[in-house]
Every structure is written in structure tokens, then in C-alpha cells.
Structure 1
Amino acid sequence: MKLNRFLIALFLPFFILKPVSYGKDRVSQMPNLIILLADDLGYGELGCQGNQEIPTPNIDDIAKKGVRFSQGYVTAPNCSPSRAGLLTGKYGTRFGHEFNPTGAKNEEPGFGLPLSQQTIADSLQMAGYVNGLIGKWHLGGTAPYHPFRRGFDEFFGFTHEGHYFVPEPWKGTTTWLRRKVLPGGGQGIRTFGKVIYSTHLGNEPDYDANNPIVRGSQPVLEEEYFTDAITRESVDFIDRHANKPFFLFVSYNAVHSPLQAADKYMKKFKHIEDIQRRIFAAMLANLDDSVGDIMKKIEKEDLENDTLVFFLSDNGGPTKELTSSNLPLRGGKGQMYEGGIRVPFLFQWPGKVPAGKTYDRPVLSTDIFATIHAAAGVSKPKGEYIESYDLLPYLTGKHKEDPHEWLYWRQSHKAAFRVGDMKILRQSPKKWELYDLAKDPSETKDLSKEMPERLDLLYAGWEKINGNMVEPLFK
């Protein structure tokens, strides 16, 4: 059993990680590499994940042509540390990127992906790839952390945690904004034309303050709805680099707040009475069409068989804020329950990955790092800890065991640890909970009192791994 093997290893003098598998022979034709990252998209919101309310045919098509990971995890329950794990192939707690800077913190010195860490773009650039980042960065808003200094050749987007989708006064959209007090006073929900104010969650963050949309490093006035602008720039990047190997990181800020949907998509969902949910549905449908435009461009350039594509969300959905559902999972963004850290996770590479397959064992967003390096024939970066495994041998059946013997999370007092199908988590400072995810994926029955020995063993495992982590560099 996985648990027994882990517990044996637990008490060895040194904990040895499984080495990352990389191909020895460089492929004759370097594949193109695309990561499509949604923002705050809940586990249950895609058609291929069971949502029948909001059609997402283009994203679902990636699953039809490739693999859907039913237990795909990210390294943190919120944006920045999750992205740090994705781009480095490591838990952010290995190098102090544990927390999620927001607002003015993005502009403070030292608040960003540590410069000591090599990104996937760094190694691909040195291997001859042309690298583009389109959309949200959120790994440092000051000069040392600019994407140009982290391996990317091109950048169009913004550096903080969020951005309005069109400039004020938000023409052509319906906008839902949070406030502590409604305009004119009072609590509740109040509508002014196509702007709806709600007091259910305090104030809307000041997303656009000192956070311009830039091309390279120069601010631009972008008037197109930003999901469409990201897609436009991504299609243009593919068009200009179709004759050379490229890595394209398409980092959408949809469906992150502010809830702001284009009018043409609002009309498609006029049957949804809840205005908050209707705006979310319109934003998701817009995102789906945008993914479709990128995939159609790949097909038009006859690059489909030569292009590896991942689609995932950076964390679970914040349901009360967005309506973004994580069902049937418990919890959401910011939490260590499954709904905060298990996300929609898809992978397509025609001819290399089985089509229409569902892979039901745990994988981690860090595995994208190793899978891309192996596919590109690029040597792994130096370093002792890279918890990142090439997924291809597992998907083709060459490797029968789970890619990961354990999965670990920590953010302040919140923590979680999974071995096999057993998981412990700590959402409050003092209480650890225990769940059997095979029997109870919705985490409805805490087994900590029934199985205290198992809880203690898993906690000892978490402590062992936690001893290899470092203190956060910023909070």
C-alpha cells in the first residue's frame, strides 16, 4: 500500500524524493507548449466536470482529445503561490513563496517569486524556445520580477492580482461590485443601470491602482474586453511564431473578480434569474470561446499534433464571491478542503496522450513542469527538490503506480497532507481532521476520532516534510 511505503520511508534518516524522469534523447522536432490557466474557476464549472448549466464546449474538447485529471491539485489555495509552484515545479514553501500578495503589497521590494528560483521559461529559453506570457502575472510587481527577467521574451498583461475587464466607465458590460455601504447608504443589493452593488463581502479591491496593462513594460490603453484582448494577443503570438518552437503561457484573469461580463454574453444567459450567477456564466462562456479561438488557430496553422496543451485553474472557486462552484467538493478558494486545492485539469497532445481518457489518481500542477521539460527534451534545472513528474508514462500505462507518494500543503496555520487516499487537514489553528477521499471525496465524515493512530501517522509525515520547508519571505 502507498501509505505503508510512505511510512517506512518516513523514518529513514533522509527522505529521498523520486527523481524526475526526462528523456535522454532530444526530440527531432521540438513541440510547441501551451498552458491555458483560468483564474478562480471552480472544480464543478465545466461541462466535462458535470456542469449542465453553462456550456463550455471548447474547453471540454481538450478533454475529449486528451486527458481529464479527476484529481488534479495545485500547490496552494490562492493565486500567487499556486502560480509559483506551476512555473518552478516546486512547492512554494520550499523557497518562501507561501502567501498571496494583494494590492499595494505587489509593489513592495521582495514580494515576488524569489530570484533564486529558475522558471520553466528560463530553461525553455536556453533550449531555444520563444516564450510568451499573455495576461496575469502576480509573481512580483517591481522591476526585478518582471517577466522579461524570468525567461519570457514577450509580455502583454498586468502584474498584480486582478484587473477590471474594460476601463471605467465599463461600457458594454454588466458589472457587479462589492461595497461595505451601498451608494446612498444601506445594506443589500442595489442596481444603477448596468452596475449592481452588493454589501455581501465588503469592498471590491482596488485592482487597477498602479497596475496598468502593459505591452512589454510600457502601459497601453486597452479598450477591448480583456478576455478577448488576451485571446487576440495569444493568436497573434502563435501567428508570428508558428515557424519556430514556442512556449505560450496564457494566463486569463477570468473568472476572477470583479464580476464584469460583456453584453453579448449576458444575452445568452438571460434565463438565469440570479444576476450574480448570470454575470459569472457570461464570463465563463466568454472564456470558453476564447480558448476555442486559440485552439482553432493551432489547427489552422496545422500545429495540433505538434502542440502540447494544458488547461487548469490556479485554485478553487470563491463561491460566495463569484458563485464559482466546486461541487461535489467541500470548501473553496483559501481553504485546504478539496474545493480549495483540487481544480479542473486537462491535457491534450494528439498522438502522444490517449484521447478521451480520465485519469483518476492524484496529480499536481508541478507535474506540468516535468512533463513539458521531458517533451521538449530539456535538461532539468539543478536542485535537490523538484516534486514534479513527467505524466506521459503514467498516462500511457508504462508506470502503474501513483505519480506522487504524498501531497503537501501549508499556508500559515492552514495545512494538509495526503498519502494514498487518506488526507489530513488543518483549517483552524489547532484542529486536524482526517478523511478517506476514496469513500468520501466531499469530506463529510471526519475520521480523526475513529482512527487516531492513522491521524498521528499522517501528521508525523506532514511534520517530516514540513521540516524541509522554509519560513515565508513575505506575508
Structure 2
Amino acid sequence: MKNVVRFFLALLFLPLCFSARAEKKPNIVLIICDDAGFADFGFQGSKIMKTPHLDKACASGVRFAEGYVTSAVCAPSRAGIITGRYQQRFGYEQINIIGYMDKNSALKGENMGLPESEKTLANYLKEAGYATGFFGKWHLGDGDQFHPTKRGFDEFIGFRDGSRSYFAYPEKELKKPHMKYKRMEWGYKKFKEPEYYMTDLLGDEAAKFIEKHKEGPFFEIVSFNAVHTPLEYLPEDTAQFPELNGKRKVLAGMTLALDRACGTIFNKLEELGLSDNTIIAFVSDNGGPTDKNASCNLPLSGTKSNYLEGGIRVPFFMTWPAGFPAGLTYDQPVSTLDFGPTFLKAAGLKAQDYKIMDGKDLKPFVNAVTPNAPHDELYWKKAERAAFREGDWKLIRYADRPAELYNIAEDISETNDLALTYPDKVRKMYKKIWEWERHHPAPLWIIDRKWDVYDLERMDKYHLK
């Protein structure tokens, strides 16, 4: 009789069990690499770089062929990613190097960072019951008030500055004033230099975080400093590229290590049976610097720090077996701003639960529930320099020469400037940039004032007054 009762009780609660499983919040792993070239991964078409783990992950999800960041340099781009908001909304557009400043400088390094009034994705997800961790390069403020553990992250292993060695610094070097925020930190003000290659270490620590929080849900950002300078590598990695030499050979070795570290994370998820209910997002924080680390952005023109496609269009994919199709290349423009709404909606939050975000939940778009593009308009701005994409058209505004106009669908390499052919379109798009930027506060920090003051004569030239 007892067994019969148990049987019927099991039948009674079975739908609830399936419902709970179906509604289980997904884990979220956001991987940000640093200064990677658009064409420097197998999933982006490279026949030289060896990235088997990333290629496999990309094939299991959605590759975004037109994935954009919000800035062509590191720190502002990361500010947009971690808030889901254009960084211009809170004055974070001009500064990139938020590190040691000379004591006589008007710029106070320790007071520069992501404004404390801004909530991060980690803040929201922590409130939604997620364990949160950050691993690697922070670059969103060196002062203690900006520390990751004070911005929504339960755990932090990494460094506050924008770059550092991939190996341990000698103690003598660490005593120099400018090294204050390059030190490796394990929590809050607990310092210990890495015992082995930084890229591998970050992958290992991110995997340990997954193991620790395997019951979920968890959210981690793995912010590799690879493949940013300094160009430091393991000889066994570069040895796999005998056909290369110089910086390109070093970059290939560093990219191989990056792929290996990502594989450590992916394998841990697979080992623990978490892959099906985990969102993985992979992106570079800006375009590759073709000079400093010999990145390749082809067929795009441009490089890190400028608003040609090579500076702002990046390797970008997302996987989520429970929510995204596999093997899809999505060819509409998307942005790292979209991480915020996508993650928070998946975690069960509603739009009214968080600040206005500029991105879109990508799930209905990649599943063809919403046939139109996520973004009709995308903007980039740093002082006078700006860019605006509207549909297939892109306008680049300069401080020292006439604007340029390109049709990205027909001219991905931006070699055919159509500004003189379509002057009315230039004027209308130029005015839209002005309308967009006029609603934002002045930049919190100004590096070079001559590029920041709007030139009324230039406004007259484009009939904006």
C-alpha cells in the first residue's frame, strides 16, 4: 500500500519537477579577450591561428558576423559591456588609461572609474540569486571604491590596471609607484603574483569557480588580458607555428594559449553536466592593433582606436543550447550592449527591474521570433570623433577633416567614401549624431581639450545650427 501511495505522489509532483527544471536559471559565462584581431580565430576564417576549443563552442551556438563594441579602446568598451548602457550616458567616453597618474597631474587616477551610481550586470544578477565572480583584467577604476568586490562581484582574481606581465613581477619591480595597480590580487587587497602563465591561470581559476558553484546559478566574467601587449608567450606554444616569425608568431602562440584556457572552462562545464543550461558569450573588447601585436582585421579596414570597422567590429559569438540555435551565423548588427538585456531576461528579470539599457534581448532575434534587426542605429563617440551606423550606412565624423560615408553592406572594407555622392544623407546622419550626443552629460575626464570643445564653425558647415 505504501508503494502505491508513493507512486501516486510521484505522479502528482512530477509536473512540478519538470517545471522547476525548465525554469532553472541559466548559468552565465562572459569571456572577454583583449585586442584580438577580427580574422584571428578559426571560427572567423583564419587558416593560421589554432583555436579548436573556441571553434567548437562557436559552432554550437550563434556567430554574430556584425558584432560591435561601444568603443575602439578598452576601458570605455568595458564600461558599456558591464552596464548594458552607452558609456556616454554617464560621462565615460574619453579616458582609456585609468592607472597611475603623476602626482602633479590634473587627472587624479584613483578618482577615475566606473561611476558608483551605475549598477553592473553583477549587481543585478547577484540580487537575482547568482554567485558572481570576476577573473582577470578589470580596467574600470583603480581606486578602492571601484574594486570589483564593491561592484557586485563576490569573488575577484585579477588586476585593476589595463595591462601587466603574463608572468610574476620581481618584488623590486612591484615597489615602483606606477606598479601599484598591476599587482595580481586575490580578493580585496590580497596580493600574490601568478605562479605560472597568466592566461592558463585565469582559465584554471574560472573553472574552479564553476566547480565551487556548480549547483548554480552563477555568473562569471573571464576577462583575459590576452592578446594585449606585452607580447609574452610560452615557447611550446609558439613552436607550433614554425611558418611564422616576429610578432605574428608570438600572437599565434598567445592566441593558442587563450584558446586552451577557454577550453579549460568549456571542459569543466561539460564535465559537470552544466553546458546545456549555461550561456557562454565570447567577444574582444575592441579591434586588433595591427601594429603593436600584429593582429589581422581583414577584410575590415582600420585598427584599435579608430572608428573604421576594424576598430569596433569584433569576434563575437554566444552559445546557449536551451535558448539559442546551433550553427547559425547571424548577419544583422548586434552590440555588446545586448549582453545586459539578454542575460537579465534569461535570469528572470523584467525591464522595469533595471536601469534603462541600450541593448536588446537577442534570444527572439536569433530564433526568428522577431524578424527585424535588433538595432536600426548604433553610435560611437569620443569627443569630436564619432561614428553612426543607420541600416547599411555608416558615417564617420572627424575633428580635423570632412566626414566620410560608407555603405557597409556593399563595401565592408570602407574603401569607397560616398560623402560627396550623398551630401544630404551626410547632413541628416551628422545631425542625428548631434541629437544623440546632446542628451548626454559632458565627459567626466578630458584628456585633450582641443578635441573636446564643439566647433561652431564646423556646425555651420553642416547646417546644424
Which bracket does the TM-score occupy, shorter chain normalised? 0.7 to 0.9
Deviation at 1:104, TM superposition (A): 1.0
Once the two structures are superposed, residues 317-353 of structure 1 have per-residue CA deviations (whole angstroms, 9 ceiling, x without a partner) of: 0010000111110101100100000000000001321
Amino acid at match of 2:50: P
Amino acid at match of 1:163: R
Contact 1:32 1:306 in 2 (8 A): yes
Correspondence 1:141 to 2:142? yes
Aligned-pair distance for 1:27?
6.7
**Alpha carbons 1:162, 1:208 under 8 Å: kept:** no
| Distance 1:116-1:311 versus aligned 2 partners, 3 A rule | same
DSSP-derived class of the 1:310 partner: strand
Pick the structure with greater CA Rg.
2
In structure 1, what is the equivalent of residue 79 of structure 2?
A: 84
Q: Give the counterpart letter for 2:424 in structure 1.
A: E
Question: Match for residue 104 of structure 1?
Answer: 100
Higher helix fraction: Structure 1 or Structure 2?
Answer: 2
* 1:367 and 2:338 are equivalent in the alignment: yes
What are the ranges of 5 or more consecutive residues in structure 2 without an aligned counterpart? Answer: 1-19, 102-106, 171-176, 447-465
Map 1:284-363 onto structure 2 (within 5 A).
Answer: 284-363=255-334
SS in 2 for 1:321: coil
From the superposition, tell whether residues 461 and 26 of structure 1 become closer, same or farther in structure 2 (CA, over 3 Å).
farther
* Secondary structure of the corresponding residue to residue 247 of structure 1: strand
1:242 aligns with 2:214: yes
- Identity across matched positions, percent: 39
C-alpha change, 1:207 and 1:340, in structure 2 (3 Å) is farther
Q: In 1, distance between residues paired with 2:86 and 2:181?
A: 29
Aligned-partner Cα distance in 2 for 1:216–1:347: 28
The whole-number CA distance in structure 1 between the counterparts of 2:217 and 2:157 is 19
Q: Distance in 2 between matches of 1:470 and 1:156?
A: 33
Question: In structure 1, what is the Cα distance between the partners aligned to 2:248 and 2:180?
Answer: 27
Distance 1:332 1:90 in 2: 24
Structure 1: segments with no counterpart, 5+ residues = 1-24, 170-205
Q: CA deviation at 1:109?
A: 3.5
Contact between 1:26 and 1:378, CA under 8 Å: does it hold in 2?
Answer: no
Residue 427 of structure 1 deviates from its aligned partner by 4.1
TM-score normalised according to structure 2 size: 0.86
- After superposition, the C-alpha distances for 1:416-454 in whole angstroms (9 at most, x for unaligned) are 001100000024434210000010011000000011011
When normalised by structure 1's length, the TM-score is 0.84
- Spell out the pairing of 1:218-237 with structure 2 (5 A cutoff): 218-237=190-209
Structure 2 Cα separation of the partners of residues 86 and 68 of structure 1: 18
The corresponding residue for 1:202 is: none
Q: How does 1:184-223 map to 2 (within 5 A)?
A: 208-217=179-188, 218-223=190-195
In structure 1, how many angstroms separate the alpha carbons of the residues matched to 2:199 and 2:407?
39
CA offsets 1:184-225 (integer angstroms, 9 cap, x no match)? xxxxxxxxxxxxxxxxxxxxxx98454210000211121210
Partner of 1:10: none
Range with greater deviation from structure 2 (426-435 or 134-143): 426-435
Report how many residues are paired: 415
Deviation, 1:128, is: 0.6
Alignment pair present for 1:394 and 2:384: no
1:473 corresponds to which residue? Answer: 444
> Match of 1:355, as an amino acid?
A
Change (3 A) 1:377 1:383: closer
Aligned to 1:65: 60
Partner SS, residue 104 of structure 1? coil
Q: Secondary structure at the match of 1:366?
A: helix
* Counterpart secondary structure, 1:54: coil
Q: Distance in 1 between matches of 2:268 and 2:110?
A: 39
Distance 1:248 1:381, change over 3 A: farther
Tell me, yes or no, if structure 1 residue 254 matches structure 2 residue 226.
yes
Q: Secondary structure at the match of 1:259?
A: coil
Q: Distance in 1 between matches of 2:408 and 2:22?
A: 39
Q: Shift in Å at residue 382 of structure 1?
A: 6.0
Alignment-derived partner of residue 104 in structure 2: none
| Deviating more after overlay: 48-57 vs 442-451 | 48-57
RMSD: 1.9
